[in-house]
Amino acid sequence: MSVKTVSDLKVKIFADGADKAAMLKLYANPMVSGFTTNPSLMRKAGVSDYAAFAKEILAAIPDRPISFEVFSDDFAEMAKQARVITTWGKNVYVKIPISNTQGQSSVPLVRELAAAGIKLNVTALMTVAQVDSVIPALAGGPAACISVFAGRIADTGRDPLQSMAEAVQHMKPYPNLELIWASPRELLNVFQADDIGCHIITATPDIIGKLPLVGKDLDEYSLDTVKMFRSDAVQAGFNIATG
């Protein structure tokens, strides 16, 4: 890969999470260009009032893209939720899953909402075929994102890199569309996404926190690791009787 330093990166980093304190801290980080959330992250963070939380975050972060997801399983109700969510802020992208829980495609709904001028983030995709099904529904509409869960693809033992590279090429003719490398598992994924020309990668606070390690001398990092093991053993009071 040609990218060696953080300053060389062209891929945009979006922070993924729903903890308000963490989001506000990352908002102060110039490396973070936007934010994504989902109902699972909100539940994990203890959010109980979806709309109130979203509006509170948008009041604090009014100038970077933020995605909030519909959560109905009925397409008609999804459409209603999307039309409400989009009113919460000019920087809001409405997340629509690629299907409902019955496996029925949401592409007709995506087409309807895009035609209405709603900025969308179509989410939970895992195949190039799914990307190809969504592109025509979003083409010619407002700014939109397509989130491919590369990390979950990798969890199945498959290398997502080729699929992500294909998706980038298929989306190239449509300047209003951006591909999101979703659910990365390690900092290396940021550089992989950048190398193939992916537009955006989501990242947890843990991954973003590793950015200062980029380019670190490996001999120095090795010594730091040895020191860490030694320090932890001493602080734990470990002892082995040797005679």
Active-site annotation, residues: 95
Q: How far is CA 20 from CA 11, 43, 58, 89, in A?
A: 24, 13, 11, 17
DSSP-assigned beta bridge partners for residue 202: 14
What ranges make up the beta strands (E) of the chain?
Answer: 12-16, 32-36, 66-69, 92-97, 120-125, 144-148, 177-181, 200-203
DSSP characters over 76-103: HHHHHHHHHHGGG-TTEEEEEESB-TT-
46: left (phi over 0), alpha (psi -120 to 50) or beta: left
Rg (CA), the chain: 20
